[in-house]
Chains A and B, each alone.
Chain A
């Protein structure tokens, strides 16, 4: 008992940093429950990625293989993982709450008849977990009952696992999938092209809001600052809804949750739904022309100014600093 199965998400032959967050949380949980942490990489040819993952301190890595696991689809992955979780006799299955984690894990929980806690931020010693509710306005302590429990973790609440000294064995397993029961078809993936760091991995995030007024202004006004700072770009819902920037840049309760070392909010008022996605950032900067804007209540440094003047100035100032 007490064993933990960690779902290691991967894309295009790599795993994102969020996968290492799940590994870290899985190791912590296994430690607290005196169990083993087992990582699983699912795919049609998962071995290379499994080898990569083996550096991070789990007691084994399972390369779970099946042609039906080529593209991520919830039904096939839920079948494969549920069968594996039962076979390995684990008490917990854990993943990071990425788009895939959120899509897959409730389905997996249903297949296991298990309770699930979404986006946990703390693993308590007494077996309970803490998770935010109401856009982060409440922290719930929850208890899960039953022989097997399903968890997703909030990526910002745990560190990434670090490489360990020993390398565990990699176990190849054929996934148990009833192909006749599969009903979902992958058609295509249209990637948002960007050379910038990933929003959930960046050390600095610069986000723009409705105050930017247009997609064109995001390009000509905000992006030079983003790039000068080597930052990832984010946005408020209002900016995304208006079509200024792609959907997956939305930071907030119902978008992405980020906690970089530095978060710069430009022309964002600071609605509770936006704060839910960034208020755990280490340093918060707000640039807004309205000195009453609620974003200033959480900002370490606030600048009351017209962004169309302040942002180009800031880009120039950062550039100067870098060259001095």
Chain B
């Protein structure tokens, strides 16, 4: 099976994010950049499917030259080759998704697996936009994926329980946290990754409308919540919740 995995570079989730005083962005000094955790899960799932059935795992990222680092990490995990669609412009989710759909149109994978959400913009949009653009079925928030021939069955994490849906390939999946636990890149994996193909394509050569329709005008730091006080006992806690906070 041929699987395309679009991945994003984001600040490590353990980083403390600070908004710049002028509101133009976040402070990036001291930020460690990593593969978006949900995208790592997507890579892992693609590798497991490939290991069961043979095939090819292609990584794709739409970003700057520095994003090669994350592609190399994904190649070291075991992906076969990678594509960097290069741009220095700030794209919106619609444009990113259209680029991914364009590459999918050229590469003709059986499956596209993405993260459900990038932990920087928290948009939760790109996968669904790609699916509609390709007129493909989508199974978002996947916690289990199974195949029987060209039929794919996915268990999804939804409100109030788990939903199962099915579709015939080709199709698109976005990952939730419980789908798998991503592997680490091994040392031999890292050595091998250096020789794997990493192709660069200029974003504006793809004939896709890149002009953002969603613009971020400004970032602000959220209001800080004041720490309250410590209570000495359970009895005091229940008392203050009743009399002072009037919450019970």
Contact = CB atoms under 8 A, between A and B. Distances in A.
Contacts of A113: 94
Secondary structure of the A contact surface, majority rule: mixed
Nearest to B122: A133
B220 A138 contact: yes
B132 A102 contact: no
Interface string B127-169: 1111111011111110100000000010001111111111110
B135 A181 contact: yes
B132 to A, nearest CB: 4
A273 B15 CA distance: 11
A138 B221 contact: yes
B227 to A, nearest CB: 5
Secondary structure of the B contact surface, majority rule: mixed
B167 to A, nearest CB: 5
A221 interface: no
A229 B238 CA distance: 11
A313 interface: yes
Interface in B1-54: 11, 13, 16-19, 26, 38
Interface stretch (B75-83, B195-203, B229-237): B229-237
Given A103-B140, A247-B178, A303-B237, A137 B222 contact: yes
Interface stretch (B55-63, B66-74, B103-111, B239-247): B239-247
B229 A142 contact: no
Contacts of B234: 303, 305, 310, 313-314, 317
Interface string A100-128: 10111111111101111111000000001
A268 to B, nearest CB: 16
A137 B229 CA distance: 23
Given A78-B132, A187-B164, A301 B228 contact: yes
Contacts of A105: 128
Contact of A184 (B26, B129, B165, B213): B165
Nearest to B20: A138
A283 B238 contact: no
A187 B139 CA distance: 12
Contact of A188 (B124, B131, B164, B229): B164
Contact of A317 (B159, B217, B218, B238): B238
A283 B247 contact: yes
Contacts, number: 263
- Chain B contact patch, size range: 35 or more
A134 B17 contact: yes
Interface stretch (A31-39, A143-151, A157-165, A212-220): A143-151
A215 B167 CA distance: 34
B216 A141 contact: yes
A117 B222 contact: no
A298 interface: yes
Nearest to A194: B160
A48 interface: no
B210 interface: no
Contacts of B125: 106, 109, 116, 118
Contact of B129 (A100, A109, A248): A109
A161 to B, nearest CB: 20
- Ranked 4 nearest A-B pairs via Cβ: A300-B228, A106-B128, A115-B213, A110-B132
Interface of A: 11, 16, 73-75, 78, 97-100, 102-111, 113-119, 128, 132-146, 181, 183-192, 198, 200, 204, 229, 237, 240-241, 246-248, 250, 253-254, 261-262, 272-273, 279, 282-285, 291, 296-305, 310, 313-314, 317-318, 321
